[in-house]
Structure 1
Amino acid sequence: MNGAPMPLLTWSDFKAKALDIQDKVESGDMPPTGAPLSTNQMSTLLGYVAAGTPSAGNVTCP
């Protein structure tokens, strides 16, 4: 979806790939060219992974 090499539709999808995502973000391979993360976005994402990708419970996205 949107060019991602894996589905990231659920918390479980993300949790399963969190360390791979962290590596790709830190190396600059993700996100792809043309859609860079801001410093704040990168910090938030890497902090979330460092915290163990906690679940928000039964919250749905709008």
Structure 2
Amino acid sequence: MTGSGINTVRIGAEVKHITELDALTLSSEWSKLKNEIADMHRYNHQISQGWRGFIMRLIGVHLPGINARK
């Protein structure tokens, strides 16, 4: 394996495919990923408030987690 893709995780300096992980490590990595995504959505929501959000909507910028249905 040469690089990291959607089905790989980096543990230390080693890149592993998710099928090579034991249940505990896979669960831990999944939790990290879900927390990172939740943090990104929370941050995007914060920066989309007020006048910044208004300007971003005017110029057509849509961040992940904000108006996800559109």
- Name the TM-score class by shorter chain: 0.3 to 0.5
Whose radius of gyration is greater, 1 or 2?
2
Bigger relative contact order (CA 8 A; separation at least 6): 1
More helix by share: 2
Q: What's the TM-score once normalised by structure 1's chain length?
A: 0.35
More strand by share: 2
